[in-house]
Every structure is written in structure tokens, then in C-alpha cells.
Amino acid sequence: MKPIFVRGVSNQFRLTLAIILSVILIVANDRLDPVRQSMATLLSPLQYLANVPGDMLDSVAENLASRAMLQSQNAELMRQQLLMSERLQRFEHLRQENERLRALLGSPLHMDARKMVAEVVEVASDPFHQYVVINRGSQHAVYVGQPVLDAQGIVGQVVQVSAITSRVLLMSDVSHGIPVRITRNDVRLVANGTGELDEIELKYVAKSTDVKVGDLLVTSGLGNRFPEGYPVARVMQVQRDDGQSYARVTAQPVAALDRIRYLLLIWPEKAAENSPESAPPAAEANTDIKGEAQ
């Protein structure tokens, strides 16, 4: 095919055409506004569609940043929650410990009794013996046969003493016995352990003995081992069988023998007078109990 123009348009003609078009556009500028508006209206959807990918990318980036920030905040809140939970548990433990110590210090002690708080550091693993080990020993003037209480009443007595620890035989042990009396009528009996933490037995009780369910048993003071008047147990069952010579009487210790942690060592007046070398001064004992309470 033969080209229409054998030679291209000259540069002079192009310049002249550009000047004429520029002058026309300058003169008709105001008249072209409706055309511009119409063109903008027609092209606005295309402009919107052209911005869609950028907007989507910005939205995705913002969502990812928000998600990462939320995950970071959630992890930080979880960490703070765990820290606060651990602190709350520790405070709850301290509160319960404080209540136990307050109850222990408010136990039914005679005002003239010397006393010292001790903590249980070991519980007997032997099923045939009932004893615990406390963190007080001969350095603290603990002696064999010393009465031991908790916040409710008699727990047992010290049977072995070392320099810094002592072994306490619980009243529930089968080899342990306590002279007791019934507070209701002053009848004197002997309470013996049965090997069960929640049960002791009153042996050789005559059928005619005035003992009833619910009677409170306290130490009688006989034997010069346990001071008189400390709670021991409460009668739970009385059986009077015709074929038996004696009534079978069982009682439940008032002390919580299955969950003791803090115990109270006491120095009765007679024990202190008989063995002055083993009993600490009253000021020293009071200092020990205050230090433990803090």
C-alpha cells in the first residue's frame, strides 16, 4: 500500500498548530467547565476502581497491625493476670496463716502458762504411729513430756527432743493416754488413742457412769503431765451392752489432728518449778511467741 504522506509534517506547522490550540483553550476555558464536570462524572467510577486495590492493601495492613497489637496486649494482660493471681494466692495463704496464728494465740490458755509457737515440719509416715515433728528443740527449752496444744485444745505431748526439733506424740496414738474429766459432772476417766485421728476411747467405764453424748472432756490435771482444764474431746457415742462388763464410750478430739500446722508449747507452773533449767524465762517465751506471730 502507498502511504498517504510521503513526507512528515514539518516542525513549523506543528508549532503553529500548538499555538492556535493553546489560544483557543485559553479563550474557551470558562466554557469548558461543564465538559470537565461531565468528564469527571464519567471518570469518577474508574478513579474509584483504581483506588480500590490501594484501599484494600491499607485496610489489610491496618487489620494486621491491629491484630498484632491486640495479640500483644492480650499476652501482656495474661501475664499480668498470672502475676496478680499468684500474688492473690500468696495473700490468701498469708491471710489463712494469720487467722491460724490468731486462733492459736487465742486458744484456751491459762494466763500464767508460759508458751511458744512451733511449726510442724514433718508428719509421721508410719501407719502404726501418730506423731509429728516440730521446729523446736532443747535449744528452745523443750522437754520430754511437755504438753502441746493447737487453737482448740490438747494435741499430744513431746516424747523425743533433739537440739532444734522435737517429736510430738498425738493423743490419737494407741500408746497415748490422758486423764480427763467430764465438765458437766466432774467424773474422772482416762482417754486413750485408737490409732484414728478423729476418735479416742474411754476405757473401763462402768455402765452406771453418768456419761452422755455431747459431754465435753477436759484435762483433769492428774499425773502432773497435762495442766487441768484444757479441752480434750467431746463424747460422740455411748454403748451399754448387756453382755459387756463396761460401757463403750468413744469421743472425737477437739483438736484438728488431721490438719495441724502450728502448735503451742506450754510450760505449766509445776513443770517450770520442778525443772527450772529446762524452762525459759517468761519474758523469753513471750518474745518467741510474738516473733512467730509476726
Q: What is the DSSP annotation of 57-123? A: HHHHHHHHHHHHHHHHHHHHHHHHHHHHHHHHHHHHHHHHHHHHHHHHHTSS--TT-EEEEEEEEEE
If you average pLDDT over residues 136-145, what whole number do you get?
A: 93
Burial of 224-240, coded b for 16+ CB within 10 Å and e otherwise, reads ebbbeebbbbebeebee
If you average pLDDT over residues 58-77, what whole number do you get?
A: 77
If you average pLDDT over residues 202-222, what whole number do you get?
A: 91
For 81-136, the pLDDT digits (tens) are 766 765 666 676 677 677 777 777 665 555 556 788 899 999 986 777 899 999 99
* Helix (H) or strand (E) run with residue 149 in it: strand 147-149
Angle between helices 282-293 and 33-105 (to 10 degrees): 160
Q: pTM for the complete prediction? A: 0.59
Can you give the pLDDT at residue 3? 55
If you average pLDDT over residues 60-64, what whole number do you get?
A: 74
Angle at 107 between CA 205 and CA 201, to 5 degrees: 20
- For the chain, the straight-line distance linking the first and the last C-alpha, in angstroms and rounded, comes to 114
Can you give the pLDDT at residue 236? 95
